[in-house]
A = this chain, B = another copy of it.
């Protein structure tokens, strides 16, 4: 029995990035490969993305063009239908129109500070691991007021167990600082965050 060695893979330098998208479910229909950001899939002749395979790197997809609306973290693997990447969301729009690579994702070197209140105020806690329940970890309530990403890229979720709305936070965006829920993403409507994890390159 050969033992796989994941260390080499996860420690490999950033990139290259590669994603193959399809305009029908289950990897059918028109097919396009990307190695860099796409700000509007409609300008490439597709009306929507209905399945995809991430072959290299981590990506973030968006509901609207120009990287707006609901966010979907997309790591290496196969996503045959909308439910495979959407998680469980408040509304089922079934649209992914733009996407881009996440350059700073690093599974082994990720660090973030959560603050109880906005503008980096109140109680704080520094994390370098995944927590499927912030409350089980000792956090005071079901909200996080602001966050400072010190290294790597993270995804925060509305509900425990990595469910609900996804918010992608990166050390190389906003200087890593997210001082209010409005900066978590254009779709964020509350401070509610109940689970948080590193993004895997």
In the assembled complex, how far is the CB of residue A71 from the closest CB belonging to chain B, in whole angstroms? 12
Main secondary structure on chain A at its contact with chain B?
Answer: mixed
Of B85, B133, B201, the residue contacting A76 (CB under 8 A) is B133
Determine if A191 is an interface residue (Cβ-Cβ < 8 Å).
no
**Distance in angstroms between the alpha carbons of A122 and B1 in the assembled complex:** 6
Residues on B with C-beta less than 8 A from A135 are 76-77
- Given A87-B87, A123-B4, CB of A79 within 8 Å of CB of B159: yes
A contacts with B, residue count (CB < 8 A)? 60
* A residues with CB within 8 A of B: 1-10, 54, 58, 73-79, 83-90, 107, 121-125, 130-140, 142, 155, 158-164, 194-195, 197-201
Residue of B nearest to A159 (CB): B84
In the assembled complex, how far is the CB of residue A1 from the closest CB belonging to chain B, in whole angstroms? 6
**Distance in angstroms between the alpha carbons of A69 and B91 in the assembled complex:** 25
Q: When the two chains form their complex, are residues A124 and B164 in contact, meaning their CB atoms are under 8 A apart?
A: no
Q: When the two chains form their complex, are residues B9 and A142 in contact, meaning their CB atoms are under 8 A apart?
A: no
* Beyond A132-B197, A155-B161, 7 extra complex contacts between A and B, CB < 8 Å: A1-B124, A9-B136, A73-B161, A76-B136, A79-B160, A87-B88, A132-B199
